[in-house]
Structure 1
């Protein structure tokens, strides 16, 4: 009888550990999405900073120092904030789905969020490389 109780207790502890690992993964995705949103905000506001500095310093001095701007930083910034928001939502959906699968003992790994992040970073990286090549 005590063997059954010990096995039950061991299974509950193991299940708690799995749930905590799932929660840590969720929080890591949330930190990543917040980081992407913050980076997007900085990229968007940096363009505003450059425009304000151009007005303060006088356009003749700043035009020689900086390449012409096409306003892409606002687009990239908004895209990154949107991407971070979408990743946060997908992380929550993934967390709840895995939580349910752990409780039902039917866990099936899924890598949609991983693929989305990798493709998004690749797309932003390609865009930034093209932007830097074009601006030089």
Structure 2
């Protein structure tokens, strides 16, 4: 006999919660990686100057200070991606608890577009300094 419990899915399963946490932690790692890359971009001109001193040669970084601006934007983007990931985590958690989960690709689409734009700016900056 079927008591009806087999057809009544639980609104909140531990595996769903754990998958949501893993997704959130992956976004946190992504945000930290973006911030680390931004830090490297900011410090690149300092690194080039120090290499010139160590090698006793005249090595110069590009005169425009775009690397600092791009690096700071990347650090801010990493910070925002972690914030938005947390908001998405909490939203998904509430949807899972109520049994009304609706997937969304907004965060992924937004981050992909912004990173693509910054990548194009970095390519243009590097081509300009060659």
| TM-score for both structures, normalised by structure 2 | 0.84
Q: Give the length in aligned residue pairs.
A: 130
How many Å separate the matches in 1 of 2:124 and 2:31?
A: 24
- Shift of the alpha carbon at 1:125? 1.2
Q: Write out per-residue CA displacement over residues 38-73 of structure 1, whole angstroms, 9 at most, x where no aligned residue.
A: 111111122222234445666xx324xx46331111
Which structure 2 segments of 5+ residues have no match?
none
Q: Is this contact kept in 1: 2:45–2:61, CA < 8 A?
A: no
Q: Is this contact kept in 1: 2:20–2:92, CA < 8 A?
A: yes
* Alignment-derived partner of residue 11 in structure 1: 10
How many Å separate the matches in 1 of 2:53 and 2:68?
A: 18
What RMSD in Å do the two structures reach over aligned CA positions? 2.5
Q: Select the structure that is richer in helix.
A: 1
Q: How does 1:53-72 map to 2 (within 5 A)?
A: 53-54=51-52, 61-63=57-59, 66=60, 68-72=62-66
* Alignment-derived partner of residue 30 in structure 1: 28
